[in-house]
Amino acid sequence: MNAGAASGATVTARRMVNGANILNYALYREAARTNIWGNTPGTDMPPATTAPILPTALTVYGRIPAGQNVPAGGYADTVTVTVNY
């Protein structure tokens, strides 16, 4: 999973944009939202799964930190997930 399309984003500081306005957010691997979901094997990626026949679901949890003073509106980002099989 990459950092997203917004300029300056990292996996620990993702950004949604609406024009020049930026709304920070993060993606996590579990409901407690303590482990960032990133792109470094063995560090911030989920463990490998083996399910040659059955579908495998991986849930992504998000959080938008409070206290961001941005105008109301639609904010967007595109995060790319790469699946190797």
Q: What is the pLDDT of residues 7-40, one digit of tens each?
A: 888 888 899 999 999 999 999 988 999 888 877 6
pTM of the predicted model as reported, rounded to 2 decimal places: 0.81
- Sign of CA pseudo-dihedral 83, 28, 3, 5: positive
Number of domains making up the chain = 1
* Domain span including residue 27: 1-85
> pLDDT-derived band of residue 70, with 50, 70 and 90 as boundaries?
very high
C-alpha span between 28 and 37 (Å, rounded): 5
Confidence at residue 26, expressed as pLDDT on a 0 to 100 scale: 93
Lowest mean pLDDT among 22-26, 49-53, 66-70: 49-53
